[in-house]
């Protein structure tokens, strides 16, 4: 089965840029979606189809996907960005949904 690998944690100072990676075999050939999950709340879609942003998501959130790594980038990080972030793909070979293990973003 397809596996997505994320770092357990990423720390960043306010105002700096955070990069959260999502590794998978030839993930560049798949569409990657990213979710933000704050404590006690349902996940919220922040990036879809690798780099598109839903309405209401700040332009500070961006995504890229190539080779074996997809990346969620958050520019000018704010305290309110502190949350868990998950990547997700649809594995077309099995028609299964796969989530990464999640990354806890800490704003220092």
What Rg, from alpha-carbon coordinates, does the chain have?
A: 13
Q: List interacting residues with other proteins (CB under 8 A).
A: 1, 30-31, 33, 35, 37, 42-45, 48-49, 54, 84, 86, 88-90, 92, 95-102
Nearest alpha-carbon partner for 78 in 35, 17, 10:
17
Tally of residues, the chain: 108
Nearer to other proteins, 28 or 101 (CB): 101
Tokens of 53: 């942003």
Nearer to other proteins, 2 or 60 (CB): 2
Least distance from other proteins to the Cβ atom of residue 60, Å: 19
Count of Cβ atoms closer than 10 Å to residue 27 Cβ: 22
Nearer to other proteins, 42 or 79 (CB): 42
Least distance from other proteins to the Cβ atom of residue 1, Å: 7
Nearer to other proteins, 48 or 60 (CB): 48
C-alpha distances in Å from residue 11, one per residue of 31, 87, 107: 26, 18, 6
Least distance from other proteins to the Cβ atom of residue 30, Å: 8
């Amino acid at each position: 089965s397809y596996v997505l690998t994320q770092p357990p944690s990423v720390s960043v100072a306010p105002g700096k840029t955070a990069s959260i990676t999502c590794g998978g075999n030839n993930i560049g050939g798949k569409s990657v979606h990213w979710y933000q999950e704050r404590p006690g709340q349902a996940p919220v879609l922040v990036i879809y189809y690798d780099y598109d942003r839903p309405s209401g998501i700040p332009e500070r959130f961006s995504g890229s996907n190539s080779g074996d790594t997809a990346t969620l980038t958050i520019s000018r990080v704010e305290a309110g960005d502190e949350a868990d972030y998950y990547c997700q793909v649809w594995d077309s070979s099995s028609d299964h949904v796969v989530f990464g293990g999640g990354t806890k973003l800490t704003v220092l």
